[in-house]
Amino acid sequence: MVTEADMTELRSLCPDAKQAQEGGLRYVLLPSLKLPAPAEIDCLLCVDPRDGYAGRLFFSQVIATREPRNWHMQNVRILERNWFAFSWQIPANLRPMEILLTVLRAVR
Amino acid sequence: MSIQLRILRPFVDAVVSDLQRRHQFAFERVGFIACRTGTIDGGSLLLPTRYDPVLDADYLPDDSVGARIGSNAIRRAMQEALENDVTILHVHFHGHNGNPSMSRVDEVESRKLIPAFFNVRPNRPHGALILSRDSAALWMWKGKEERPVSVDDISIVGNPMRLAGTKARIKTNPALIRQSFLGKDADPIFQTVRVAIIGLGGGGSHVVQQLVHLGIRHFLLFDPDVVEISNLNRLVGATLSDVENATKKVVVAERYIKSVNPNAIVERFDKKWQETGAAIRKADVVFGCVDTFLARQELESTTQRYFIPYIDIGMDVTKCERQYFMSGQVIISMPGQRCMKCLGFLTDEKLGKEAAQYGEAGEHPQVVWANGVLASAAVGKFVQLTTGWAGADTFCEYDSYDGNLGRIIAHPRLQYSDKRCSHHPLASAGDPEFA
């Protein structure tokens, strides 16, 4: 499970953050996460390494970004919902909040 | 709203084993089963994940019933329902073969006991389950004040499976007389079992072909693609005019099925299975004939979650120096047992490499005879799984195909992997819950 300290940190940005596991990986659902555009979107943070990435952020839809991103994962089924992700490498061993902020920087 | 019970065979065996223990004075034992739930079209799936036997000290002397239990046992079951938001089934055992029925005493006692669970979990159905040596019967209450209803749709998932309605009065099909050695229930099983096939290319089209000849009647077909010229080297049933007309692969498969069995039920989805909501969940068995490791991981997560056996096939050709090597696999991922990660087939390294190619499988070499060999092996496992005709000890979860030698053997990794799965715990069954 994601530690309570990490969940508390994530809830400072997304008060309704909740966690679940699937396939041995830990995920945090971030409902209605505030982004520049669209204003709010559901996101799913994978805090464990998967697909060759140290952590991943999935979006409930493809979103517009200033720089074009490689949305190589489309309609990926995780926890019985479809998600989208762009390729974005992050350093290993980051805290969940650090993973989130690192990927979100690429969204601006 | 319909209710369907899917219960794992090892779980049933453990419950029956416990219920058959003698008690100091009670005539029989009882227990409580906690079920997670899954949403299916027009109803819900009950997925038993935890069994709590009633402790010896919680039985009360009472000659008028088989077992009288005290308030501590009931309170513990109510606590389980409250804390984990689960459905509770009261369970006991009738020591005979065939469908068990509720005795007058069972009925009277259940009517007193079961409504109590609605005090703590009014949002879930609760019920009474009776197990026999080879069958089960279930009565469910949907509300505290409602009358119980008998639930017929009960599947025991394991080797072999036991599907609801397979001992019904279905006439034996004369077309299947040459396979009668599969057992007297084989025909009813094949007419009842709902089979999903994901991917209808080289592997999937062979699977469809064999299943319909076998007598399978209910198909769920998933594939978003149309027939292209490069498919004609292996896609069973496809023609040149399908290429010219850009016919959907699901249409080709349905056409083949209906040409053999006009009465077949074909649910056709010309899109990715992920885009069809909960459709896949009603399948009793899923065949995965997909190209990528990611697709396999996604399929296995869903099938494990909803207690559906998943049969995976795939092939590849690699070049080493001047020699080509053809390999493949047939894997059965049984819910609650070793998954494809446990078996070392799905690895982070493979998934990472694939993601680095942006999720594309690329133009993998595919040939008709290897597709056919793997599909045949997979259908053979399916027949064993659904009928048990060859005996329980013949079940192999992971076969490896050497296409150069034309040989299928049990994969050596079977000896070394842990038999318990740590990736898909039973507690994660059913619709996802976030905490």
Instruction: Mark yes or no for CB contact B294/A20 under 8 Å.
Output: no
Residue among A24, A29, A75 minimizing CB distance to B341: A24
Q: Which residues of A touch B353 (CB under 8 A)?
A: 52
Query: What mean pLDDT comes out for the span B287-300?
Result: 96
For residue B307, give every residue at least 6 positions away whose Cβ sits within 8 Å of its Cβ, in sequence order, or none: B6, B7, B8, B45, B47, B157, B335, B336, B429
- Distance between CA atoms of B326 and B335, rounded to whole angstroms? 29
Residue B264: is its pLDDT beyond 90? Answer: yes
Residue B171 — very low, low, confident or very high, per pLDDT cuts 50/70/90? low
> Among A49-58, B30-39, B318-327, B374-383, which is the least confidently predicted range?
B318-327
As a whole-number percent, the residues of chain B with pLDDT over 70 amount to 97
> Given a cut of 80, is residue A5 above it in pLDDT?
yes
* pLDDT tier, B362 (very low <50, low <70, confident <90, very high otherwise): low
Q: For residue A37, what pLDDT band results from cuts at 50, 70 and 90?
A: low
Average pLDDT over residues B279-305: 97
Whether A87 contacts chain B with CB within 8 A: yes
What's the topology of domain B2-157?
Answer: Cytidine Deaminase; domain 2 (3.40.140)
Chain B residues whose beta carbon lies within 8 Å of the beta carbon of residue A81: 432
For residue B350, pLDDT over 60 is answered with yes
How crowded is residue B17: how many other Cβ atoms within 10 Å of its Cβ? Answer: 10
Give the residue with greater pLDDT, B358 vs B394: B394
- The Cα B236–Cα B232 span in angstroms is 8
Query: Looking at CA atoms only, how far is residue B173 from chain A in angstroms?
Result: 39
Question: pLDDT at residue B82 above 80?
Answer: yes
Q: How close, in Å, is residue A105 to chain B by CA atoms?
A: 21
**Residue pLDDT, tens place only, A50-81:** 999 999 999 999 998 888 999 999 999 999 99
Q: H or E segment at A81?
A: strand A81-85
Q: Residue B359 pLDDT > 60, yes or no?
A: no
Please write down the long-range contacts of A57-65, taking CB distance under 8 Å and 24 or more positions apart. A57/A85, A57/A88, A57/A99, A57/A100, A57/A103, A57/A104, A58/A83, A58/A84, A58/A85, A59/A83, A59/A84, A59/A85, A60/A84, A63/A35, A63/A37, A63/A38, A63/A107, A64/A37, A65/A106, A65/A107, A65/A108
- Chain segment B298-342, per-residue pLDDT in tens: 999 999 999 999 999 999 999 888 899 999 999 999 999 999 999
- Residue B359 touches chain A, beta carbons under 8 Å: yes
Region A12-40: mean pLDDT is 92
Chain B touched by A68 (CB under 8 Å): no
Give contacts of A18 with chain B, Cβ < 8 Å: 434-435
Number of domains present in the structure of chain A:
1
ipTM summary value: 0.94
End-to-end CA distance of chain A: 30
Range of the domain at A35: 4-105
Q: What does the pLDDT read at residue B391?
A: 86
pLDDT(A20) > 70: yes
Q: Count chain A–chain B contacts defined by CB atoms under 8 A.
A: 72
Q: Do domains B2-157 and B174-428 have the same CATH topology?
A: no
The percent of residues in chain B predicted with pLDDT above 90, rounded, is: 84
Q: Taking residues B148-158, what's their average pLDDT?
A: 94
The mean pLDDT value of chain B amounts to 93
First vs last Cα of chain B: how many Å apart? Answer: 27
Nearest CA in chain B to A52: B352
Q: Which of B62-71, B161-170, B326-335, B417-426 has the lowest mean pLDDT?
A: B161-170
CATH topology of domain B174-428: Rossmann fold (3.40.50)
Does B361 have pLDDT greater than 60? Answer: no
